[in-house]
Structure 1
Amino acid sequence: MTSTELVFDPFSEEFFNGPWEIYRRMRAEAPVYYNAEYDFYALSRHEDVAAAYKDFETFSSAYGLDLATVRSDEPMPAKMIIMMDPPEHRQMRSLVNKVFTPRAIEALRPMATETIDRYLSAVDPGGFDVVGDFSALFPVQVITQMLGVPEEYRKQVGEWVDTSLAREPGQIEMSEEGMQAVGELMGLYYNIIQQRRAEPRDDMFSRLIAAEVTREDGDTESLDDFEIAGFATLLGGAGAETVTKLIGNATVTFARHPEQWQKLLDDRSKIPAAVEELLRYEAPNQYNVRRSMRDVEIHGVTIPEGKPVFLLAGSANRDPDAFTDADTFDIDRDRTEAQNLGFGYGVHSCLGAALARMESAIALERLLDFMPRYEVRWDGCRRVAAQNVAGWSHVPVRVLA
């Protein structure tokens, strides 16, 4: 019996619908995979992905976030922290760490809880779409409130983010509508920044305006408008999308593993562990793209300088050499076995991870109260087709008595 050709296409229907079998074959057959059609490499084993995340000198972030930008020879002009390498990244990261302190995140808990409660109380108690009616709505409200976006624009921000990330099967470049959405979003943030410079408030925009960063030459400066807008765009996109997809994934995963849902019903203290396992089992962010800055040999394969390299965190988190029974969903698993790469690793580990964890834990707690027994209406479930994001756009459920 001859096996089919191994094809990893991150723009295909097959990838959007769940790449777990492809990942398994890549780890076994081609841990350094080359895609000739799109001219990129991909790392799929946990050991290799984790090492590449930490080796920013070899695998650079400065050329962008996706294949379309990374394969360009020009570093990205956008001043987003996610598109920087040290030392510039280190300076910006230290600034953001001052703004994203554990105390600052914890101070957002009442607002996040109120927002989650407000959206869940508005759904049909008999049945609703967990994503469309709930998890697609509250995260962008939380993140935009934190930033200081006026209420009348918050929903629009979420729509712009979705438009910018959307990809049809086979589509690599951002669509014209996506580019227009990014422009509209940056324009909104620019206007808010001007308002906050004139009249500061108790919000993230005002704190970023007031913050100072020590540049590479030792000079201390404030952030410019473009840098602040870049921060806001990154937070608004990554912050909203991660929680939206994690809660949708949770609803589907627990429906397939009802004994795990029962564990949470019996013991709410397991909720944080459940969030970690959801991030491992089906992370909303399946990969990041880097650019090779030198020729590098891994497993006998040479990745030439200047090539896009996909770091498949979604595959690494299912690597049986890193995790016992890696394809088993188990909220009680041993967390010390290996690094969970669901929020990245190394210098670019997710800025908003603590906020996303907090929101996800609150939302899970509320769903346990609201629908201790539920069933997914599988015929209405729809997968999302988006840049590097895995999850569901629609998960309708029926709440059982």
Structure 2
Amino acid sequence: MTKAKLVFDPFSQDFFNGAYETYRRMRDEAPVYYNEEHDFYALTRHEDVAPGFKDFETYSSRYGVDLASIRNGLPTEAGPRMIIFMDPPEHRNMRSLLNKVFTPRAIQAQRQNVIDKVEKYISRLDPNGFDAVQEFTAPFPVEVITTMLGVPEEHAQQVRYWIDESLTREVGQVEIGEKAMQANVEQAMFYYELVAKRRAEPGNDLFTKLVEAELERENGEKDKLDDIEIAAFAALLGGAGAETVTKLLGNAVYVFGKNPDQWQRLQEDRSKIPAAVEELLRYEAPSQYQVRRAMKDVHLHGTTIPEGSPVFLIGGSANRDERAWTDPDTFDIDRDRTEAQNLGLGYGIHSCLGAALARLESSIALERLLDFMPRFEVDFGSCTRVQMQNVVGWKNVPVKVLK
């Protein structure tokens, strides 16, 4: 029997549905994979992806972090200073500024905010039937991050709409669409106006802290972010803060529905919740890949990646690599997490800035879900996936609580 041609297409139904079988074949048959149609390379083995995330001199973020930007040669320097489009030393200075805003104390100070938002939405759920994503895991995380930023509560769900629209892709769609572009413009204008208000009327929120923060340059001089840069950062932070937890917890309900023994184990020992969050991040990371530009010819596994090529670093595959993990396709909250580096929230200089917040939100939400639905069933036949750039997760997960 002839084996089907190996094709990894990040704009295909295969990717949107979780391309784990494709990843396995790539790791085995083409650890340096080349896509002729879209002219990009992809790394899938843990031994290549993890170092790749840290090697900014070889795999640069300065030319964009998606295929369209790198392929089109868009000059990111022309826009506002965005941390995801930076390599050191510029990245180091920006990260240092933002670390002052995202201190461990600042994250822990959000605990009650998270509890309030979780309770607000879980109290509305009908145990006889509800959509875990649309009614719970989607609406509460965006309210957490927008509250931190200083966005009025009544605008939070509008922000979620803009985020979802900006990431949505049709099958085969590489470039950003008209609706997504419009959503980005409206979101940017919204944040820009809020930043201007905060300059005039400071508050106790992230907008105010970013307005007041000073950025130190390599020559020792200091300057501040302008309104456009703060608005751009708010859009980035809002998107990551909303999408990561939404997808992670939607995946949680689905995966625990498939593995009720694991849910029971968690029910019996709540101290395993942090480990369960880490296993969820490993098993199906919300962000599956990051795209970089090769800054020199890269010789790997008998293949040469030419300088200037877009390179997909597929963390979602590395986290399922049997060379790094024991039984990687098995969901196990008691897994030995010292076996390999979990890439679920990135790694290296571009690791998720809000990782501590994502873990806090996920842990609190799981704790409350364990109370609300000690036993539950998922209508798997009615579950639907999102179709988004680099994001994998569920749009609908219908659930019924069992007596």
Instruction: Pick one of 156, 166, 177 that aligns with 1:164.
Output: 166
Partner of 1:125: 127
Partner of 1:179: 181
What letter matches 1:14 in structure 2?
D
Partner of 2:318: 316
What letter matches 1:55 in structure 2?
D
What letter matches 2:38 in structure 1?
Y
> Does the aligned pair in 2 maintain the 1:371–1:399 contact within 8 Å?
yes
Q: How many Å apart are 1:78 and its aligned residue?
A: 3.8
**Correspondence 1:130-279 to 2 at 5 A:** 130-279=132-281
Partner of 1:73: 73
Partner Cα distance (2:50, 2:80) in 1? 26
Helix, strand or coil for the counterpart of 1:42?
Answer: strand
Q: How many Å apart are 1:73 and its aligned residue?
A: 2.1
Partner of 1:48: 48
Q: How many Å apart are 1:74 and its aligned residue?
A: 3.2
Q: How many Å apart are 1:201 and its aligned residue?
A: 0.2
What letter matches 1:112 in structure 2?
V
Q: How many Å apart are 1:127 and its aligned residue?
A: 1.6
Once the two structures are superposed, residues 333-383 of structure 1 have per-residue CA deviations (whole angstroms, 9 ceiling, x without a partner) of 111111000011100000011001100111111110001110001121001
Partner of 2:88: 86
What letter matches 1:108 in structure 2?
Q
Helix, strand or coil for the counterpart of 1:319?
Answer: coil
Partner of 1:107: 109
| More moved, 134-143 vs 208-217 | 208-217
> Does the aligned pair in 1 maintain the 2:297–2:304 contact within 8 Å?
yes
> Does the aligned pair in 2 maintain the 1:63–1:75 contact within 8 Å?
yes
What letter matches 1:165 in structure 2?
L
Partner of 1:64: 64
Partner Cα distance (1:298, 1:332) in 2? 34
What count of residue pairs does the alignment treat as equivalent? 401
> Does the aligned pair in 2 maintain the 1:91–1:215 contact within 8 Å?
yes
Helix, strand or coil for the counterpart of 1:260?
Answer: helix
What letter matches 1:208 in structure 2?
L
What letter matches 1:322 in structure 2?
A
- What is the TM-score when the length of structure 1 is the normalising length? 0.99
Once the two structures are superposed, residues 145-201 of structure 1 have per-residue CA deviations (whole angstroms, 9 ceiling, x without a partner) of 000011221110000000000001111111111111111111111101111001100
What letter matches 2:257 in structure 1?
A
Once the two structures are superposed, residues 185-230 of structure 1 have per-residue CA deviations (whole angstroms, 9 ceiling, x without a partner) of 1111110111100110000000011111101222111111122112
> Does the aligned pair in 2 maintain the 1:131–1:394 contact within 8 Å?
yes
Q: How many Å apart are 1:53 and its aligned residue?
A: 0.5
Helix, strand or coil for the counterpart of 2:346?
Answer: coil
> Does the aligned pair in 1 maintain the 2:53–2:348 contact within 8 Å?
yes
Instruction: Pick one of 81, 96, 99 that aligns with 1:97.
Output: 99
Partner Cα distance (1:333, 1:282) in 2? 15
Q: How many Å apart are 1:18 and its aligned residue?
A: 1.6
Partner of 2:352: 350
**Correspondence 1:382-397 to 2 at 5 A:** 382-397=384-399
Once the two structures are superposed, residues 304-358 of structure 1 have per-residue CA deviations (whole angstroms, 9 ceiling, x without a partner) of 0111100000000000111111111111111111100001110000001100110
> Does the aligned pair in 1 maintain the 2:64–2:74 contact within 8 Å?
no
Instruction: Pick one of 280, 288, 291 that aligns with 2:290.
Output: 288
Partner Cα distance (1:260, 1:54) in 2? 33
Q: How many Å apart are 1:79 and its aligned residue?
A: 2.0
- Segments of structure 1 that go 5 or more residues without pairing to the other structure are none
Partner of 1:361: 363
> Does the aligned pair in 2 maintain the 1:63–1:72 contact within 8 Å?
no
What letter matches 1:328 in structure 2?
T
Helix, strand or coil for the counterpart of 1:289?
Answer: strand
Partner Cα distance (1:75, 1:270) in 2? 45
> Does the aligned pair in 2 maintain the 1:82–1:348 contact within 8 Å?
yes
> Does the aligned pair in 2 maintain the 1:292–1:309 contact within 8 Å?
yes
> Does the aligned pair in 2 maintain the 1:294–1:306 contact within 8 Å?
yes
**Correspondence 1:3-22 to 2 at 5 A:** 3-22=3-22
Partner Cα distance (2:259, 2:279) in 1? 13
Partner Cα distance (2:151, 2:378) in 1? 34
Once the two structures are superposed, residues 272-297 of structure 1 have per-residue CA deviations (whole angstroms, 9 ceiling, x without a partner) of 00000000000000001001111111
Helix, strand or coil for the counterpart of 2:387?
Answer: coil
Once the two structures are superposed, residues 72-99 of structure 1 have per-residue CA deviations (whole angstroms, 9 ceiling, x without a partner) of 2233124211111111000000011111
Instruction: Pick one of 361, 376, 379 that aligns with 2:378.
Output: 376
Partner Cα distance (1:93, 1:235) in 2? 13
Work out the percentage of aligned pairs sharing the same amino acid: 66
Partner Cα distance (2:168, 2:241) in 1? 16
What letter matches 2:368 in structure 1?
R
Partner Cα distance (1:365, 1:281) in 2? 20
> Does the aligned pair in 2 maintain the 1:61–1:83 contact within 8 Å?
yes
Partner Cα distance (1:380, 1:138) in 2? 22
Question: Which stretches of structure 1, 4 residues or more, deviate above 4 A after TM superposition?
Answer: none
Partner Cα distance (1:84, 1:59) in 2? 11
- What is the TM-score when the length of structure 2 is the normalising length? 0.98
Q: How many Å apart are 1:71 and its aligned residue?
A: 1.2
| More moved, 76-85 vs 124-133 | 76-85
Q: How many Å apart are 1:102 and its aligned residue?
A: 0.5
Helix, strand or coil for the counterpart of 2:304?
Answer: strand
> Does the aligned pair in 2 maintain the 1:383–1:391 contact within 8 Å?
yes
What letter matches 1:205 in structure 2?
F
Partner Cα distance (2:80, 2:259) in 1? 43
What letter matches 2:2 in structure 1?
T
Partner Cα distance (1:230, 1:31) in 2? 35
